[in-house]
Structure 1
Amino acid sequence: MSGSRILVVDDEADITELISLYMEREGYLVRATDNGEDAVALAASFRPDLIILDIQLKHMDGFDVCKQVRSVSDVPILFVSCKNDDTDIIHGLTVGGDDYMTKPFSPSQLVARVKAHLRRQTVNDRRRAADEVLRFDRLVIDLPGRTVHVGGKEVFLSTKEFELLVRLAKSPNRAFALDDLYTIVWGHDSMGDTRTLMVHVSNLRKKIEPDPANPTYIVTVRGVGYKFSIKEGSPHV
């Protein structure tokens, strides 16, 4: 986590200098400001991995800074304040803060808190990254890129074909009733019937199955509908 970017926001110069010193000793890249407006701007331009945020600031208090940052980012926000009233602590966490420390505090304890939040954020980022790509043997589904590869070659799906495949692949081996699957992908207000769904399944099989007549991924569940089938132990993320 060395090299992580830390934004320190505090209107007390001595505290800002102390926090920055300890963060830099850990190998973090630090930017600091003493007012709320600059804090919001730096959150966007500096793109910190964690924000250490005081409540009492110039131009805009820490609560408002937190709300503005949280509207566009899930970066960990650690409040530090001389206010130790439960109301302030609860409010800080309610508007989007991840943690709260009251002044005076031990710099080493602050470092430990920062490390814990960065470690947790790293784990969460890895989980999100894993969730964005679904892998099933020869079949790879890239969710943010909205691409599908079979045997290393990209296949082109329509919007509904892609949504249908993702819905099935995210719940492997779960049987979906025709009506339920149609409603999930097309919505309650869509006009049509399950024949539309069956046509899309047929098209999908032609594009992703080695043998569309004998599908191994999208299989029919008699009397129910369809499921995305994977064998136990098959590689998938």
Structure 2
Amino acid sequence: MKNILVVDDSPDARNLLEIILEDHGYMPIKAASGEEAMALLGTFKIDLIISDLEMKNGDGHWLLSKLKALKNAPKIIIVSGDIRATEEYILSLGALAFFRKPFTLKHLMDFVNSVF
């Protein structure tokens, strides 16, 4: 079973992704910030990260920069409702993909499934 780290400061968003990921046979692990996510990387084998962009205590930009410095870092999908963020910019920071909120869960899960 693949471990997917869901990073979002919204409990509702984390819980929704947890349910969807479990329904697709993945093991979701949840974090409320980039800092919490980095701590969990030392505890769990993480196969993929799905992270919000705008959060307190280590946002998606911060998390992307930290992952770049790690050897064998997991791939990361960024999701955001920030209209200033562009796919080109997010991918240039090292993200595997960028999904603008609102997105369909089917589209996200089709992409996640294609990663594995």
Deviation string 1:131-180 (CA, Å, 9 cap, x unpaired) is xxxxxxxxxxxxxxxxxxxxxxxxxxxxxxxxxxxxxxxxxxxxxxxxxx
Larger Rg: 1
Following superposition, the deviation at residue 44 of structure 1 comes to: 2.8
Does the aligned pair in 2 maintain the 1:7–1:30 contact within 8 Å? yes
Q: Which of 84, 89, 92 matches 2:90?
A: 92
RMSD: 1.4
Deviation string for 1:74-98 (max 9, x for gaps)? Answer: 422100110243x543332112101
Aligned-partner Cα distance in 2 for 1:105–1:29: 21
Q: What stretches of structure 1 move > 3 A for 4+ residues in a row?
A: none
Tell me the residue number matched to 2:9.
11
Aligned to 1:78: 77
SS of alignment partner, residue 42 of structure 2: helix
1:49-87, Cα deviation, whole Å (9 max, x unpaired): 0000111112111111111122213422100110243x5
Cα distance in 1, alignment partners of residues 89 and 62 from structure 2: 11
Given candidates 19, 22, 35, the residue that maps to 1:21 is 19
**Sequence identity percentage:** 30
Aligned equivalents of 2:8, 2:34: Cα separation in 1 = 9
CA distance in 1, matches of 2:115, 2:56: 27
5+ long unaligned stretches in structure 2: none
How many aligned positions are there?
Answer: 115
Q: TM-score, normalised by structure 1?
A: 0.46
Greater relative contact order (Cα < 8 A, sep 6+) = 2
Please name the residue that 1:47 is paired with: 45
Deviation per residue, 1:30-65 (Å, 9 max, x gap): 110111110111123212100001111121111111
- Worse-matched range after superposition: 6-15 or 35-44: 35-44
TM-score of the two chains, using structure 2 as the length reference = 0.90
